Amino acid sequence: MDDGYPTSEDLERIHGFRGSPEQLVELISGLWRPEDFVTVTPGDDAVKVRFVTGGWSGNEELIGALDRTMLRLFWSKSERGGLHEYEIPVGIWGHEFDLRFPAPKCGHCGREI
């Protein structure tokens, strides 16, 4: 964090994250301002994770980085005011994975974009 804002290194750590969804949420929670705008609610089938940006651009950058990971597949809703919810199946919450999305490639030359 630089002056409270996530650094490019912070954002790259999220985008290139390898570990469990739980560990990724812990990483992001530590960067979020204020930290209590992140809630984790375990359920029978899924763990609901709520991020509220409060309109702060630093938190919006963190959501952008999160949405470049496989957790994007578990997005459940977003609302005006900066609410972003994800529902992550209990069966994968604590298991480690490579959570990076494959980098998009140019259809013409095949280079990563």
- Count CB-CB contacts under 10 A for residue 47: 20
Q: Does position 38 have pLDDT exceeding 70, yes or no?
A: yes
Name the region of 4 (left: φ>0; alpha: ψ -120 to 50; beta: rest). left
Q: Please check whether residue 53 is in contact with residue 94, taking contact to mean a CB–CB distance below 8 angstroms.
A: no
Structure-model confidence comparison of residues 2 and 57, the more confident one: 57
Asked whether the predicted pLDDT for residue 103 surpasses 70, the reply is no
Mean pLDDT within 80-98 = 94
| Tokens 């977003």, located at residue | 78
- Residue 104 pLDDT exceeds 90: no
Model pTM score: 0.86
Q: What is the mean pLDDT of residues 87-106?
A: 83
Distance of alpha carbon 65 from alpha carbon 113, whole angstroms = 15
Percent of the chain with pLDDT over 70: 88
